[in-house]
Amino acid sequence: MNLYDKLINRTEKISLVGLGYVGMPIAVAFAKKVEVVGFDISKDKIDLYKKGIDPTKEVGDDIISQTTVDFTSDAERLKEAKFHIVAVPTPVNADHSPNLKPVESASHTLGKQLTKGSIVVFESTVYPGVTEDICIPILEEESGLKAGVDFKVGYSPERINPGDKVHRLETIVKVVSGQDEESLDTIAKVYELVVEAGVYKADSIKVAEAAKVIENSQRDINIAFMNELSIIFNKLDIDTKSVLEAAGTKWNFLNFSPGLVGGHCIGVDPYYLTYKAEQVGYHSRIILSGRQINDEMGRYVVENLVKKLVIADVSIKSARIGILGFTFKENTPDTRNTRVIDIVEELKEYGVQPVIVDPVADEKELDEEYGLKLSGLEDLKDMDALILAVGHEQFLNLSFEQLDKLYKNVPNEEKVLIDVKSILDKKKYIASGYNYWRL
């Protein structure tokens, strides 16, 4: 009986190494079909899952409380599984170089528990070559086993979109790859258990790694183009959103919008690709240019905020400024690599400490990663300016009157409103005399 059949018959188990925004939905999905051991080094996170609490908000408390995933922070229990999926984050360092410590650490941990006949599939986003050149040697060293002989390795890039209730694991085609035809066939069959959209068999592990890293690089470049257009049109006193709506009537116009580009994928993956390109002697021009534009958008937003405050005759240093939203995107608690921090840091350069409100953000993560504290919406009082930075559902439901009450009791001409996400009725606020600006 092969490994796939043993998984189906529940005589062998799957393990998930890393139970975050990516790993948890995968674990829950597989648990409906096979036996799953869910491992994470964070005992606090495991304790929450055991209590039926989903800190990621990706799956929901109800589903977590009902799932059959066997949660543990005990690495030795990985020995119970034969099919392992590694889904740990791959961030960048301060200098934008790849930070492979999480995936290396996971490889060391898993390697110590690896048994003959196992298959290990990495889902973490990496540059081409990481799985075979870095992860496999660690697995071999720790286990004393030989890859391709005693165990097999594959790569299947994660495509989960945090906060997206439509494009989920089950509905997105899954790219899979393996060391050889046998491992590729098994990996494909296993993922087909949960991925309704089907799988795509890549020619090699490196091809699958490269496919993932260019997906988000492409989006990054397209958004950078929109951001550059926003800068140009702002100088020409033309509304960018109006231009995009007009251009969007053509059938082949790509639907992208300007904005802050953060998160664990789009704002990170291009640096993995350009890092590898540098190693083989090629200096990226388009990709790095796009990254530079997107990385500077926080400063650009603050520059325009300051201009509006000057026009409103408000002292910048003493201005009360509120920021609505801090996560990297709407309706998710994930603050990893959020570019709203660039707005906060730039305001500090002007001597301003903004009031940050985010009803969705992970407060513990915010404190540990950024040293910031959240305030409640009720704390936004007597504001000189508001920056609507993230389009959370709660903010979309705020009426004109509710937003207006957050400001000082001054003429509307002295109220500055920065609509980063372009989600408010521009005409209404301008007609009311607000100092309104959007990307």
8 Å CB contact between 25 and 168: yes
**Helix/strand/coil for 231:** helix
The bridge status of strand 35-39 relative to strand 174-178 is: unpaired
Specify which residues 177 forms β-bridges with: 155
Query: Residues 114, 221, 265, 352: which is the catalytic one?
Result: 265
Query: Which token pair is 156?
Result: 């299947």
8 Å CB contact between 114 and 152: no
* Residue from 342, 321, 274 nearest 417 by CA: 321
DSSP-derived secondary structure letter, 128: T
The bridge status of strand 385-388 relative to strand 355-357 is: unpaired
Residue 386 CA to residue 309 CA, distance in Å, equals 11
Active site residue 265: yes
SS3 letters across 72-83: ECCHHHHHHEEE
Can you tell me which residue has the tokens 């920065």?
Answer: 418
The CA-atom distances, in angstroms, between 151 and each of 115, 180, 313 are 8, 11, 69
Can you tell me which residue has the tokens 């919406």?
Answer: 377
**Helix/strand/coil for 24:** helix
* Residue from 153, 199, 202 nearest 179 by CA: 153
CA dihedral over 54, 58, 62, 65, signed as positive or negative: negative
Q: How many CB atoms lie within 10 A of CB 233?
A: 18
Query: Which token pair is 152?
Result: 């097999």
8 Å CB contact between 287 and 217: yes
Burial class (CB within 10 angstroms; exposed 0-12, middle 13-18, buried 19+) of 411? exposed
Contacts of 73 (CB under 8 A, 6+ apart): 39, 40, 41, 42, 43, 46
Residue 404's φ and ψ, nearest 5 degrees, are: -60, -35
Residues forming the active site: 265
